[in-house]
Amino acid sequence: MTKDNSNFGKWSRRDMLRGLAGIPILGTVWFAGAKSTVSAKEERQYLLETLNIKASPPPPTGPMSGDPIRLVVFAVSSFVAPWVLLLQIGCKT
């Protein structure tokens, strides 16, 4: 028996064609997502221009100093047991 030293090794021609057949599907999904993102940005820009709103980021808040405030939050779900979450929030002093 001869040893197969090709780059594809265990991949047969049929397996390669099956794998390549998914490329158009992935391209279609990517295109739909890109089109949705572009149309959402255009709609947002149109609304901002129509309502004469100048969108800008909020001003910086400055450094957060002091001890963090610890909050305990109980979350209950119908699928899992109750979970306890510990949140730390920085505060100015």
> Using one digit for the tens of pLDDT, what is the confidence trace for 25-68?
999 999 999 999 999 999 999 999 999 988 888 888 877 787 87
CB 67 within 8 A of CB 59: no
What is the residue extent of each domain of the chain? 13-89
- Most confident residue range from 15-19, 46-50, 78-82: 46-50
Average pLDDT, the chain: 77
What pTM was computed for the model? 0.45
> Assign residue 7 a region: left if phi > 0, alpha if psi is -120 to 50, beta otherwise?
alpha
- Most confident residue range from 52-56, 64-68, 70-74, 84-88: 52-56
CB 72 within 8 A of CB 84: yes
